[in-house]
Structure 1
Amino acid sequence: MSYGASLFPQRVETPERRLQNCQSRSLYLHPEVTHDESQGRNVAPVKTQFKVLITGKLADTCIEKLSAEPDIEVLYHPEMPREAIIRQIPECHALVTRSETTVDKTIIDAGKKLKVIARAAVGVANIDVDYATERGILVMNTPGKNTNSAAELAFGLLLAVARNIHEAHNTMSQGGWERHRFTGTELRGKTLGIIGLGNVGHRMARFGRGFEMQVIACDPYIPDSEFERHRVEKVEFEELLRRSDIISVHVPKNKTTINMIDRPQFEQMKRGVIIINAARGGIVNESALKAALDSGQVAGAGIDTWETEPPRENLFIGHPRVVMTPHIGASTVEAQFFIGEAIAQELPKALRGGIVEAPVNMPQIRMIEGNMMSAYTVLCEKLGIFSAQYIDSPISRIEAIYRGDITAHDCRLLRL
């Protein structure tokens, strides 16, 4: 099996103009008098221009900062039932969610004034991004804020599996003392294969180097310069499967990464490999993983994310070579603080028509890198001007293919 862009697709990046054209309604309303009950005093006459519905638990500092914005009213309802969301959302301009809320077509249609959907984390698999884009709704997330926490958990799962820490703990909790039963394996000298060298993946690579591991990775969307910067050997997907003693998954979940590691992929791996999935459930097929564990093809597994959360039928309950956690990669005080800070800073900008740091359904552009990319940017501009003079019907989709030296660079600017 060969792999390419289909295994590591970019997030949906509908052209900027498409989203902007959809946003035709003005958000600004007329002022009115309000009263600050919490402070027991009158405040200046201000209209709540924007209502923000928050359906997941966020850090207290985030709620305080959003509530302090003069033109924002916060409706904070962690663990809000779906039916209640549908009743509340018609009057709201923004929805802030965590993984518990599925933001599908029904909820988006109910949000008649909705302008922004903010994901208080990285993954947006619970949001219908394509439909939100059609409705002219900006989707944003908070990448990089829980990076270290997620990477630490993934590496913690690896250590627990490699040294049988969970089984040793369970035995001692029952009064046992069996030192020789729990012989494990060192990480030093082993090959750590990382699928996806993004924010969490490159942290995982750094931890692996600290344990004197050989680190290899595959990710066709990361420029070669990033592999060099993180001192990671770039390999193809099949080579990673064949060479790795430990495989750790760090890719987003979407229709092309679901079951990315299934029975055929397990068959290509070394016998006795360790699998770590702290990315998204469903990227590693759970039934295939269970079969590989039972056959000895996989020596052990660490799982933090699940195909269905919570699992309806957990295949790994009681399995001696599996360490399980209930999707707690971002569950640290530090990660929740930084995620909350990002929401409090970026959401007001999004509502007021500003530029946000992490749009999901609009390209995120950095500075142009060097003369080569400057030249290609000018070329794309000229091609666009030329095409506009000769094409009568509107363009609904453009596919960009890169070959040669340009593939080592960040090409997102060219797709604008």
Structure 2
Amino acid sequence: EIEVANCAGKPREELERALAGAHALVVRSETRVTADLLTRGPNLRVIARAGTGVDNIDVHAATRRGIAVMNAPGANTVSAAEHAMGLLLAQARHIPGAAEAMRRGEWDRKRFEGTELRGKTIGIVGLGRIGGHVAQLARAFGMHVVGHDPYLSPERAAELQLKLALADAVRDKRIGGAAIDVFAVEPLPADAPLRKLERVILTPHLAASTAEAQERVSVEICGAVRDALVLGDLSFAINVPGISGDLLRRLGPLLDLARRLGRLALALVDGPVTAVEVDYGGKDEAAPRPVLMAAVEGLLSAMSVEPVSMVNALLIAEERGLRHARRTGTPEPGFETTVGVTLEAARGRARVAGTVLGNEHGRVIRIDDYHVDVAPEGWMLVIRNRDVPGVIGRVGTLLGGAGINIGSYHQARVAFPGHDALAAITVDQPLLNGVLEELAQVPDIQLVRLVNFGD
């Protein structure tokens, strides 16, 4: 069940109060979602823009807080493209000026002589959904289409002062006219130079303002928010590209395993972590990046970085100077799909690997050079000791005396005689009251680590 609070047209204070318990925020272009506003929503998981542009949302601040930012890029394509062609026709046939003259009682056909679109060349800057549809409509009018998609940054556009240059060009008659619907500053100031020019047609950001577009935008963005909250589907998120609901469902157990491997690897190293490398062995071409994100999420979560999710895991890692990389190759021998996590730290290096059995149950299959088979659940002790008799008995006796129940005890050794052994022991509760320190003092034990898998 999803509860909706409508704050449209209400004071900002009411929006801030509603955000306190909200998991998602849906806005239009007039609501500025700033870093400060985000602090009012500690439980936010999704910010959705009911439209295309997200320039009113601080995307970096949202990403930093682990919040997915979504939009509805395709819902207003037809309306925006039709509006562009409407402006073009109005400019070519002088429709606004002629209509105004008629209201004044005039009848001046000669002054408003226009030109046909057929046979003319239209230049389209930006060939996304809307630009592409404009091209289709223009071809239907018999126009020659020239397209360019330069990915001009907002900063560069501001430097060029395009609107001022345009006003000068119209005033100096270097171009025949202009028709504009979107402005750098909205509402457009009353004293803006463009408002005073005869051969300029201005509309107040109306391109998507049709009944059909508004309905499509509403349905599309509400469906996207619902799927994000209920199913974890981030396919509409602009700051987590390529993570669809189908992909998350398919990779769910593998991503959960990757998070747990990140936690396990952290427990095995000393000092600040400097780098993480995630190896994916398998056939799913879409898996490597989400697996990397999940492993880094698990690592940062174990480091008590809050809040952390797949949305902000890589960004936080980079901000902390933690290098991350992913590799794709063959799985560990004997398995169809495996994930490996390798950490480099100030004082040590650790590599762990795991697999998913039956497309559901994760297993740890390697800790450094040791082959193990243990479920990454609850609490796990990892002990490295000399491969000599009596160690297992002393560990069991100490844990039993402390009231610690053992869920499973996996002992691993390498093929070379006299080498160290490793134990992966799942326990039902954390080791308190100095029990971990007592284990470290047991004869022949060289290393003791306790892992919390976050269950």
Normalised to the residue count of structure 1, the TM-score between the two structures is 0.58
Q: Residue 186 of structure 2 aligns with which residue? A: 309
Distance 1:336 1:111 in 2: 26
The Cα of 1:103 is off from its aligned counterpart by 0.2
Distance 1:166 1:154 in 2: 15
Letter paired with 1:118: A
Q: Residue 110 of structure 2 aligns with which residue? A: 180
| Deviations 1:329-350 (CA, angstroms, capped at 9, x unpaired) | 1110100111111123221111
The Cα of 1:131 is off from its aligned counterpart by 0.9
Q: Residue 279 of structure 1 aligns with which residue? A: none
Match of 1:94 among 24, 27, 33: 24
Q: Residue 165 of structure 1 aligns with which residue? A: 95
| Deviations 1:154-199 (CA, angstroms, capped at 9, x unpaired) | 1100111111111111101100000000122222222111111111
Q: Residue 221 of structure 2 aligns with which residue? A: 343
Q: Does 1:153 align with 2:83?
A: yes
Distance 1:379 1:133 in 2: 21
Match of 1:113 among 43, 51, 55: 43
For the residue of structure 1 that corresponds to 2:217, the secondary structure is helix
Q: Residue 358 of structure 1 aligns with which residue? A: 236
Q: Residue 385 of structure 1 aligns with which residue? A: 327
Match of 1:202 among 128, 132, 141: 132
Q: Would you say the 8 A contact 1:82–1:101 is kept in 2?
A: no
Of Structure 1 and Structure 2, which has the larger fraction of its residues in strand?
2
The Cα of 1:378 is off from its aligned counterpart by 9.8
- Structure 1 residues 259 and 213, CA, compared in 2 at 3 Å: closer, same or farther? farther
- Structure 1 residues 378 and 316, CA, compared in 2 at 3 Å: closer, same or farther? closer
- Structure 1 residues 365 and 88, CA, compared in 2 at 3 Å: closer, same or farther? closer
Letter paired with 2:158: N
Q: Would you say the 8 A contact 1:191–1:216 is kept in 2?
A: yes
- 1:120-131 matches, within 5 Å, as 120-131=50-61
Q: Would you say the 8 A contact 1:197–1:217 is kept in 2?
A: yes
Q: Would you say the 8 A contact 1:187–1:211 is kept in 2?
A: yes
For the residue of structure 1 that corresponds to 2:85, the secondary structure is helix
Distance 1:202 1:335 in 2: 17
Distance 2:100 2:53 in 1: 33
Letter paired with 2:60: D
| Count of residues in Structure 1 that have an aligned counterpart in Structure 2 | 266
Q: Which has the higher contact order (CA 8 A, sep 6+)?
A: 1
Q: Residue 380 of structure 2 aligns with which residue? A: none
For the residue of structure 1 that corresponds to 2:5, the secondary structure is strand
Distance 2:2 2:122 in 1: 47
Shifted more, 376-385 versus 108-117: the winner is 376-385
Q: Residue 359 of structure 2 aligns with which residue? A: none
Letter paired with 1:354: G
The Cα of 1:82 is off from its aligned counterpart by 2.9
Distance 1:101 1:206 in 2: 33
Distance 2:234 2:243 in 1: 11
The Cα of 1:317 is off from its aligned counterpart by 2.1
Aligned Cα RMSD in Å? Answer: 3.1
Q: Would you say the 8 A contact 1:94–1:117 is kept in 2?
A: yes
- Give percent identity, aligned residues only: 41
- 1:239-388 matches, within 5 Å, as 255-256=154-155, 258-259=157-158, 262=160, 285-312=162-189, 313-364=191-242, 384-385=326-327
- Structure 1 residues 389 and 108, CA, compared in 2 at 3 Å: closer, same or farther? closer
The Cα of 1:287 is off from its aligned counterpart by 1.4
Distance 2:328 2:93 in 1: 62
Letter paired with 2:203: T
Q: Which has the larger radius of gyration?
A: 2
For the residue of structure 1 that corresponds to 2:4, the secondary structure is strand
